[in-house]
Amino acid sequence: AAAAATTYPSAYLDPGRLRNVAVIAHVDHGKTTLMDRLLRQCGADIPHERAMDSISLERERGITIASKVTSVSWKENELNMVDTPGHADFGGEVERVVGMVEGAVLVVDAGEGPLAQTKFVLAKALKYGLRPLLLLNKVDRPSVSEERCNEVESLVFDLFANLGATEEQLDFPVLYASAKEGWASSTFTKDPPAGAKNMSQLLDAIVRHVPPPKANLDGPFQMLVSMMEKDFYLGRILTGRVSSGIVRVGDKIHGLRSSESGIEKIEEGKEASVGYGYVFDSDFSIYLEDHTPIPMVECVGQVWEPVVKLMKKKGTSMVLIDSAGAGDIISMAGLGSPSIGHTVANTEVMAALPTVELDPPTISMTFGVNDSPLAGRDGT
């Protein structure tokens, strides 16, 4: 224990307290509402409904397009929750996400039962060996009875079985919830007692049922990039799960990818240093720790000069962190070239991590300049 204490000075690098969980569902079964509730319960200051849908198109259409991660603290654990799209059109997103987590919450509308996308996302989760928890949502609806819940539960069980689930995966816990009213219960009820009208039972079930990541803190730092965002000030923001080692702000890292000719280096990271203590909101406006906004003009000179490196989304805010260890899902800025599927690693590492195989697109299109001899002669 003493040796461990010296190697990992900060307790928050301990992978044992982490849980990486994907929330998967058919569209409209209540995933976004559920995520809002979880964030609220864990103390996030939610500025608006559908906090996880940060792209304005997502808010407008009420759908999730891109996956996103947010971490919530629950008791002594830290839960990295990944919201995934339920549309088959964005299936590649689901595939990348399930490769990053050890557990999943399968949200099913108790009235509608499992639908096409339930099957699609569940198949991906099972393929990656996850043991999903089943959350029957919208139990508050008058049409949802205990019999209906039992029926849906056995439909989901059959779906698991048809998709080739293992004995272990078939033994899934079931929770009953009304994301809209903000509660989840491990036994069927339509009206939990006042003190239990919250998400505690779901959060406890996640901690109990989802294993902590298997992570090697001693190895060199390596991370597979699973998501990518662009920020006007920070440039490219890469998100992924740290697969081994510890990364600290200022560390020298580089991007790697496997190509036909072997491992290829993408870009040498610039050395970086960071001013700590700044918090960003989801649109990357910038705030001091006490939430006083800093005018953008000032930001340019004072804060943006150093390259910002490590971040984590806590609730709805982006928070800078000084280090992160294996098993954790984090975001980093500083490298401009690596992209999804590439490995970011300590400069001593010259091996790329295996990438996730994505299903081929249903339709692909190529747009180009019209180079036909008839170009410009067609019509008026």
Choice from 112, 115, 120, 140 touching ligand GDP (CB under 6 A): 140
How many helices (H) and strands (E) the chain has is answered by 9, 19
Q: Which two tokens stand for residue 170?
A: 């078939």
Quickly list DSSP for 334-347. Answer: S-SS--TT-EEEET
Please state whether beta strands 133-137 and 174-178 pair in parallel, antiparallel, or not at all (unpaired): parallel
Which part of the chain contacts ligand GDP (CB under 6 A), choosing from 26-34, 164-172, 339-347, 350-358?
A: 26-34
The minimum distance between CB 170 and ligand GDP, in angstroms, equals 24
113 contacts ligand GDP (rule: CB under 6 A): no
The minimum distance between CB 372 and ligand GDP, in angstroms, equals 43
The minimum distance between CB 153 and ligand GDP, in angstroms, equals 17
Residue nearer to ligand GDP on the CB measure, 140 or 204 = 140
Q: Which two tokens stand for residue 178?
A: 């009304």
The minimum distance between CB 31 and ligand GDP, in angstroms, equals 3
What does residue 179 show for φ and ψ, rounded to 5 degrees? Answer: -60, -35
Residue nearer to ligand GDP on the CB measure, 85 or 315 = 85
197 contacts ligand GDP (rule: CB under 6 A): no
33 contacts ligand GDP (rule: CB under 6 A): yes
What does residue 142 show for φ and ψ, rounded to 5 degrees? Answer: -55, -35
Q: What are the residues whose beta carbons fall under 8 Å from the beta carbon of 255, sequence distance 6 or more? A: 265, 266, 267, 269, 335, 337, 338, 342, 343, 344
Choice from 21, 123, 165, 179 touching ligand GDP (CB under 6 A): 179
84 contacts ligand GDP (rule: CB under 6 A): no
- In Å, what is the CA distance from 115 to each residue of 21, 28, 107, 155? 21, 11, 11, 10
Choice from 19, 31, 68, 313 touching ligand GDP (CB under 6 A): 31
Q: Which residues bind ligand GDP (CB under 6 A)?
A: 25, 27-33, 62-64, 86, 137-138, 140-141, 178-180
